[in-house]
Amino acid sequence: MEASSLAILLVLGLAFANGTNDVSKSIATLAGSGITNYRTAIIWGTAWTVIGACASGLIATAMVRTFSSGLIQPDVAIPSAVTLSVLIGAMSWVLLASRTGLPVSTTHAIAGAIVGAGLIALGTRGLIWSALISKIALPLLLSPVLALALSILIHPTVRTIAGRWEGTCLCFMPESQALVTIDAQGATRTLFQATGFGQPVAAVPAQCDRAGLRGPTIGLDSIHWVSSGLASLARGTNDAPKILAILLLSGTMPLRHSTTAQALVVTGVALAMGLGSNFGGLRVTEVLAEKVTRMDHTEGLSANLTTSSLVLVSATMGLPVSTTHVSSSAIIGIGLLNGLRTVRWVTVRAMALAWVLTLPAAGLLACLAYLTLSRFL
C-alpha cells in the first residue's frame, strides 16, 4: 500500500477515534440534566458534528495552516513516515482513552505526536518552537481557565432568564396562522396572526402540550437542544481541520494541489467522525454527564453556551483550543457554583491526569511508530 493511501486510511481512523471521545463534550449536558436519553443525545450530537466537520473546510482554513505548515520549519523535507507516525500516535492514544471512558484532547494528542515524531525524525531544529508555544501551548493552557471563568460569569444571567422563561412556551399554530406565547399561569399573548386567516386565539391551558394546539412548541428545553447542537457544530468545525491538516504535512501527499481530492477527504473525515460518535461515544458521555457534577437543564445550557462560543471563535481565528478542556472546565465551573462538595473530585483528578499524560503519551507512541515505519518506507 502506498504511503498516501495509508495516510488517508489513518486520517479516517483518527477521525473515528475523535468521534468516540469528543461527541460527549456537547451532549453530556442533555443526558446529565435529564432532557433526553443517551441514545438520542448521541444521535443529535453526531448529526451536528458531521455538519460542522463538512463546513470546516470553508471557515477554518487558518486551523489547517497552523497544523499543516505552521509547526515545522518550511525548508525541512518531511518524510512520509513522520505523517503516518503522527496519525498513529494520536489515534492510538485517543482510542485508548475512549475505551477507558476518559475525556482527552485530540488537539493535545496531535500536537504531542507532531513533537514526538518531529524530534526523532527532524531534530530540535526542525520544529518551530515559538509557534508551538504561541499557537498550541498557550491556547491549550488558557482555554480551561477561560471556560471555567466564563461559565461562572454567564450562568447567573442564564439562570435569571430561565427563571422568567420557566413554564412559558411559544406555540406555532399553522392552522390559525398564529404565533402565541403561554406563561406559567395560562395567560396567552398573540405575537403574530396573519390577517384574514384562522380564528382569534382564546385562553388555553398553561402547558403547550395540553393546549390542543397543532404545531411545534419552543420552551426552555428547546433552547438547550439548540445550544447542544451549536456546541456539536463548533466541535466539528474545530476538530476536522486539525485532522485533515496532518495529510498536508508531507509534500508527497496528493491532496495539496487537488481541490476534488480535498473535498472527498473532508467528506470522509466528517462521516468517520460521525460513525465514531454514534458507535463509540457512550462511555465518555456517561463520565461527563454523571460523574463530574449533577446538572439541571439551566446549568447544562450555560455549559453549552460557554463551549460553543469559545470553540467557534477559536476555530475561526486558527487557535487550536481543546473542546475537551473547554467543555469539561465549563461543567466543573457550573459545579463549583453549587459548592465544592457537588463536584466529584476523584473524576476530575482522573481527567486532569489524562490531560497531562496526553502530550507525552501521544508523542511516545508516535516515536515508536516512526522507528518502526522508517525501516520500511
Domain boundaries, the chain: 3-151+236-373, 168-218
Answer yes or no: is pLDDT of 16 > 50: yes
Q: Which three cell numbers stand for residue 119?
A: 524530534
User: How does residue 192 score in pLDDT terms, banded at 50, 70 and 90?
Assistant: low
Q: How confident is the model at residue 371 (pLDDT cuts 50, 70, 90)?
A: very high
Long-range contacts made by residues 97-100, C-beta under 8 angstroms, separation at least 24?
97/21, 97/284, 97/354, 97/358, 98/17, 98/20, 98/21, 98/280, 98/283, 98/284, 99/283, 100/283
Core vs surface per residue 331-366: b (16+ CB within 10 A) or e:
bbbbbeeeeeeebbeebbebbeebbebbbebbbbbb
pLDDT of residue 307: 81
| Total Cβ atoms within 10 A of residue 168 | 18
Q: Residue 86 — very low, low, confident or very high, per pLDDT cuts 50/70/90? A: very high
Residue 213, pLDDT score: 47
Q: What percent of the chain has pLDDT over 70?
A: 76
Q: Residue 362: what pLDDT?
A: 94
Q: Provide the pLDDT for residue 69.
A: 58
Res. 131: pLDDT tops 80? no
Query: How confident is residue 95, by pLDDT bands cut at 50, 70 and 90?
Result: very high
pLDDT for position 275: 93
Report whether 151 contacts 334 (CB < 8 A). Answer: yes
| 200 vs 146, residue with greater confidence | 146
- Is pLDDT larger for residue 368 or for residue 101? 368
How high is the mean pLDDT of the chain? 78
Element (H, E) at 229: helix 220-245
Q: pLDDT-derived band of residue 204, with 50, 70 and 90 as boundaries?
A: very low
Q: What's the distance, CA 102 to chain centroid? A: 15
Q: Identify the burial level of 226 via C-beta atoms within 10 angstroms of its C-beta, where 0-12 means exposed, 13-18 middle and 19 or more buried.
A: middle
- Is the pLDDT assigned to residue 167 strictly greater than 80? no
- Over range 314-327, report the average pLDDT: 73
Between 57-61, 152-156, 203-207, 213-217, the lowest mean confidence (pLDDT) is in 203-207
Q: Please tell me the distance from the alpha carbon of residue 120 to that of residue 367, in angstroms, as a whole number.
A: 7
